[in-house]
Amino acid sequence: MGMLSEFKAFAMKGNVVDLAVGVVIGGAFGKIVSSLIDDVITPLLLKPALSAANLSKIEELTIFGGVKYGMFISAVINFIIIAFVLFMIIKGINAAKKKEEAAAPAGPTQEELLTQIRDLLKK
């Protein structure tokens, strides 16, 4: 019974639960980005190029009869969008932290506290 309770304690730790939530949200975010690429960016921006190549999706681009470099281009576009969104989120979090730190009153330094203790001990 000890191993089961240890596993339960491990599985319910905050870090494990946070990781699970992050994985689920990441999967959903990946589907959103894929839809953005396939359903918005490709038709709007790449339509003329794809029409010239007689294709409907960027993933259908091939070279030498079977090398699907369109899938690679799609993956690169997905990565760039995900990296940019994560950059913007982290930038916002860092800006909020800086505001929070600036708003927090600065306490006395260690030297000031030691000076006060010394003065009190002298009395």
Domain interval for residue 37 = 2-105
State how many domains the chain has: 1
**55 close to 73: Cβ distance less than 8 angstroms:** no
Q: What are phi and psi of 67, to 5 degrees?
A: -80, 115
SS3 67: strand
Amino acid at 36: L
DSSP state of 111: H
**In-domain check, residue 58:** yes
CATH number for the domain that contains residue 29: 1.10.1200
As a whole number of angstroms, the distance between CA 87 and CA 77 comes to 15
**In-domain check, residue 122:** no
Total-model pTM? 0.51
DSSP state of 63: B
**In-domain check, residue 88:** yes
**In-domain check, residue 112:** no
Per-residue pLDDT tens listing for the chain (123 residues): 688 888 877 777 767 778 888 888 888 888 887 787 777 876 777 777 777 777 777 777 777 777 777 778 878 877 888 788 778 888 988 888 888 777 666 777 888 888 989 988 988
**In-domain check, residue 98:** yes
**In-domain check, residue 113:** no
